Structure 1
Amino acid sequence: MTHSLYSAAEFRRRAAAQALTVHPDSWRENGDAKLNPSTIPHVEGMKLKDAAVLVAAIDEGDDARLIFTQRNATLRKHSGQVAFPGGAVDEADRDMEAAAAREAEEEIGLDRRLVEPVGRLPDYMALSGFRITPVLAVVQPGFSLTLNPDEVESVFEVPLSFLMNPANHETGSGVWLGTERHYYRMPYQGRDIWGITAGIVRVIYERLYA
């Protein structure tokens, strides 16, 4: 059975297939690490906290949509930025999938029973001090959301076809610890998807669709 390239069914198939090739050093090979190889030794010397984010594809039509949040401007870290739902892993979380689903439920009210994990990407080693596991998932449409105003300002969706088109992947740069660092940007309808979140999207493109 064939599926439309950007459907949730095809996303599920590709996510599961690439997950078989994830190994401990895979994070070096894609996205921001590939864009900034000089940061790899620094990150390897850091003590990182475990976190998980939910990359949720809505299963509707031939073009699935990914769910993003706009973080509250008052947060201590990554305030006001576009992000995937997620956060630090708790001791009670049985695995990264459970952590990502719990965080999404706490942040935006997405019922974790509706979340179908379909794979993981390599961990993202963030210079802000986190080892982030992106959990790829499929969510059926028709859900309702209740945002936690302390963490999330708004939620929006972006078509997978837009995100997986490399023509929409811009790059920018800034100075970090005296060194120029490059990052991806994917502006969409007035929203600035950049930094860690855009880096994760880029890894999805490189591992699933390139």
Structure 2
Amino acid sequence: MTAKDDLARIAAALRRPGPPSSDYDLNADIQLPPTRKLRHAAVLVPLIETGSGFQILLTKRSHALKMHPGQIAFPGGKQDPTDPTLTATALREAREETGLPETHVDLIGEMPPHETVTGFTVTPIIGHVTAPFDPIPEPGEVDEIFRVPLTHATDPANFRIEARQWQGKPRHFYTVPYGPYYIWGATARILRALAERLS
């Protein structure tokens, strides 16, 4: 299968309808207030072509951050008033956090939104990185930029369900570890949703 075939398969999977995901998916006992106010955000899922298939670009957040320090994340963030669309948000954040120019990304599609425990509704935008670039971590925001093979991150067999205490109760979540990187929480849940679509 060629890279073009892979991109076509991913695009077809993204066109199929699917439910939104949530940090609470594995925790049916948590009741969310229907009047909650969610802020809009977007992340870019950058696919980089290599000689052995596609890889996903990920970041390791700075340990100096107040929110999610040291966690693995897609490049992305909250929608600014100057962002005309959530796609624009994802592309801008990717440029700021990793140095990836917007002109180097061909959009493939998007996934249903993901609700986080921090009160965001996050739209994942899938993009094909079409030209080489030099990754530059945003000072104070990103400690490291690295890649994970798409085949690893979208294989349901590589996911585990783990739990941590949250608000006095165990909260279950997906993880998909890769080498020294512990990928969990919203990032792992979005990858799990992509894995389900592709499988």
Q: Distance in 2 between matches of 1:151 and 1:173?
A: 27
- Superposed CA deviations along residues 11-63 of structure 1, whole A, max 9, x for unmatched, are 5323432333347xx215xx755423344x41644211111000000023341
Opposite residue 20 of structure 2, the aligned amino acid is W
Alignment of 1:64-103 (within 5 A): 64-103=54-93
For the Cα contact (< 8 Å) 2:23–2:117, is it kept in 1? no
**Cα RMSD for the two superposed structures:** 2.0
2:16 maps to which of 18, 21, 27: 21
TM-score, length basis structure 1: 0.86
Task: Say yes or no: does 1:63 pair with 2:53.
Answer: yes
Opposite residue 183 of structure 2, the aligned amino acid is I
In the TM superposition, residue 186 of structure 1 has moved relative to its aligned partner by 1.4
Residue number in structure 2 paired with 1:12: 7
1:178 maps to which of 157, 168, 182: 168
Residue number in structure 2 paired with 1:162: 152
State the identity as a percent. Answer: 36
Task: Say yes or no: does 1:36 pair with 2:31.
Answer: no
Q: Distance in 1 between matches of 2:161 and 2:60?
A: 20
For the Cα contact (< 8 Å) 2:137–2:144, is it kept in 1? yes
Quickly say closer, same or farther: Cα 1:111–1:65, change in 2 above 3 A: same
Instruction: Write out the 4+ residue segments of structure 1 that deviate beyond 6 Å after TM superposition.
Output: none
Q: Distance in 2 between matches of 1:194 and 1:156?
A: 16
For the Cα contact (< 8 Å) 2:41–2:79, is it kept in 1? yes
Greater helix share, 1 or 2?
A: 1
Q: Name structure 1 gaps, 5 residues minimum.
A: none
SS in 2 for 1:202: helix
For the Cα contact (< 8 Å) 1:174–1:180, is it kept in 2? yes
In the TM superposition, residue 91 of structure 1 has moved relative to its aligned partner by 1.6
Size of the alignment, in residue pairs?
199
2:187 maps to which of 179, 188, 197: 197
TM-score, length basis structure 2: 0.91
In the TM superposition, residue 158 of structure 1 has moved relative to its aligned partner by 0.5
Q: Name structure 2 gaps, 5 residues minimum.
A: none
Opposite residue 171 of structure 2, the aligned amino acid is R
Q: Distance in 1 between matches of 2:33 and 2:175?
A: 22
